[in-house]
Copies of this chain bind each other. A is one copy, B any other.
Amino acid sequence: MRKIWEPLFMGRQLLLWLVLGGFTGALVGVVVTYFLKLLFWSISVTAHWPLWALGLALPGGGLVTGLLIHYGAPDAAGHGTEAVIRAVHQKAGQINWKVAPIKALATITTIAVGGSAGKEGPSAQIGAAVASFLADVFRFSPDRRRRIVICGIGAGFAAVFGTPVAGAVLGIEVLALGDLWYDMLLPSAASATAAYEVAHLLGLTWNYPQQQAPLPWSFSVVGSMIGLGIAAGLASYVLVLLMEGFHTLSRHLTAERRWWPPLMPFLAGVLLFLLFALVGRVPGGLSLGLLIQALAGHSVGPWMWWWKILFVAITLGLGMSGGIITPLFVIGATLGATLAHPLGLPVADAAAVGMMAVTGAGANAPIAAILMGMEIFGSLLAPEFLLAVIPAFIMIGNHSVYPSQLVRLQKS
């Protein structure tokens, strides 16, 4: 009889996780929305500071970030998602709740003064911390705690990007590549949708320029897309190598030369200031202006993608605080815009495809990247996303901006 009545048993599980996931997501949606509002407000404050003021603010902000992280929550170093991945894999999702506010504050400081980083790492971390807190309150088993924490991460992504489907899948995909955890789909979907809805109700908006028309199909478009994907994979790879390089340098200086750890983000601030003086402040901060410019089909400087890689590697590699996915967006969109002309593609389309390809490769999350492309830009470009994201994902090999990611597959 068990067989015939299986839908009933399944129905109970369904209800349980709809409620748990939905509740967690709604709570995460509220907290992430206010974090983002605070972040955008702080950016607006510093937006028109002159260069000399940034010369003080950047190293100062770096130092403040360093102090916050070194004394407040050493877990909060680097970009937030990484810490969360480690917690889920090694500690069944046990998160030190203090990490979330400290990380949020450190990220706001980093980005407001011009550090080049993203807003989604702390959002994912806030999501994880809120979920872990709920797991404490309800005294969840380790298995259930891990699940609810993955829900919280997906909710954070969904709220920050305004993409519930991709948010749910991204939460699962960045945690365990090669193992899509089908049993996490329902809780994550409930949680991501709730977070997205709540953020929307609280007035958060997401503006991405829309791509207008599908590309006419031809062998040359197919070849261009694959070429763009390969370039995107290589760009992600360069970012990973550079970030690792700065990180190794930082570890060497603090561990062997006994430098005071908060000096490292201070140093990042000094380096960034010098670069600001050299190439301008456009690749600093979130660079959302740059992203929108490329996606709207306007050309950006031909080396902008490279400057963004360098700025991000310095910011995150030397221990300032922030996420990595918004930077992947910007690197991909500017790379796409730059390659549009030689590849014979419209700038806006190439920027959108490059954005998803760099993201899918860097985060080792190809399905989430394709879904996100379809959610943000509509499905007209779906085949293009597929053609570019997957080569990019292959090219980066077994590397990732998230070193703790469990890579359980053979890509080749």
A312 within 8 A of B: no
A387 within 8 A of B: yes
Chain A 176-216, CB within 8 Å of chain B: the 1/0 string?
01111011011001001100110010000000000000000
* Contact residues of A: prevailing secondary structure: helix
Task: State in angstroms the CA–CA spacing of A143 and B67 once bound together.
Answer: 54
Least Cβ distance of A12 to chain B in Å? 8
Verify B186–A178 contact, CB threshold 8 A: no
Task: State in angstroms the CA–CA spacing of A10 and B392 once bound together.
Answer: 10
Verify B186–A398 contact, CB threshold 8 A: no
A394 within 8 A of B: yes
Verify B11–A411 contact, CB threshold 8 A: no
Report B-chain residues with C-beta under 8 Å of the C-beta of A197.
217, 222
Verify B165–A370 contact, CB threshold 8 A: yes
A168 within 8 A of B: yes
Task: State in angstroms the CA–CA spacing of A331 and B241 once bound together.
Answer: 51
Return the contact of A189 from the options B4, B185, B371, B387 (Cβ within 8 A).
B387
Binds B, one of A45-53, A230-238, A303-311: A230-238
Verify B230–A412 contact, CB threshold 8 A: no
Seen from chain A, the residues whose Cβ lies within 8 Å of a Cβ on chain B are: 4, 6-7, 9-11, 13-14, 18, 164-165, 168-169, 177-180, 182-183, 185-186, 189, 192-193, 196-197, 200, 217, 222, 226, 230, 233-234, 237, 241, 366-367, 370-371, 374-375, 378-379, 382-383, 385-387, 390-391, 393-399, 409-412
